[in-house]
């Protein structure tokens, strides 16, 4: 996939050294002439949702470091539009946000499948033209988004599985060291 668009993956180049994005995969929710916005889907934060918000005691729901911007905000992707009103459709079975009070009620009442929702603190954002420049500089590879990778893959496998989406000519990237000088 060569074009940059909403509902796609940004896959960090194996040599990208930015601490926020080393071996990361960003689900791109929005890309337009004004900028780009998404969430890093494979970098678990060092705390749980209960550490950030009341009403989630003892549930140990993981939170992901969505990106270095707006780290005082919580967002979520899910596959539960029939349960969570006001969700924004990203693709046929992926939705962003919705009524957070409803989410709290559903989780507390154990009426929600936690494998179908992923929480993020902060987000990844780019101003107009910034992400296109980073792609031109070869910092990112782009692929179509795969819901199965977002919700059903172990965090440590997400980057590798996303690389495989690019086709067989990219498979060797999986084995590249983070620092080529160590090779």
pLDDT tens-digit readout, 20-61? 899 999 999 999 999 999 999 999 999 999 998 877 777 889
pLDDT higher than 80, residue 95: yes
The CATH number of the structural domain formed by 8-182 is 3.40.1740.10
- Per-residue confidence at 181, pLDDT binned at 50, 70, 90? low
Domain locations in the chain as residue ranges: 8-182
Read off the pTM.
0.94
Give yes or no for a contact between 150 and 94, defined as CB atoms under 8 angstroms apart.
Answer: yes
Give yes or no for a contact between 159 and 40, defined as CB atoms under 8 angstroms apart.
Answer: no
Helix or strand or coil: residue 122? strand
pLDDT of residue 32: 94
% residues pLDDT > 90 (the chain): 82
Give the lowest-confidence range in 10-14, 15-19, 25-29, 36-40: 15-19
Average pLDDT, the chain: 93
């Amino acid at each position: 996939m060569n074009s940059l668009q909403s509902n796609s993956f940004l896959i960090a180049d194996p040599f990208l050294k930015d601490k926020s994005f080393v071996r990361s995969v960003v689900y791109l929710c929005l890309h337009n002439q004004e900028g780009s916005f998404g969430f890093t889907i494979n970098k678990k934060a060092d705390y749980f949702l209960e550490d950030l918000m009341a009403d989630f005691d003892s549930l140990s729901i993981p939170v992901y470091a969505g990106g270095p911007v707006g780290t005082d905000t919580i967002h979520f992707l899910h596959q539960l539009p029939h349960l969570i009103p006001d969700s924004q459709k990203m693709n046929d079975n992926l939705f962003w946000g919705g009524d957070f009070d409803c989410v709290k009620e559903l989780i507390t009442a154990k009426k929600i499948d936690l494998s179908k929702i992923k929480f993020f603190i902060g987000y990844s954002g780019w101003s107009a033209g910034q992400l296109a420049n980073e792609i031109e500089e070869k910092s990112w590879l782009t692929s179509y988004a795969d819901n199965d990778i977002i919700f059903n893959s172990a965090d440590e496998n997400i980057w590798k599985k996303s690389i495989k989406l690019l086709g067989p000519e990219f498979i060797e990237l999986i084995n590249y060291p983070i620092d080529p000088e160590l090779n």
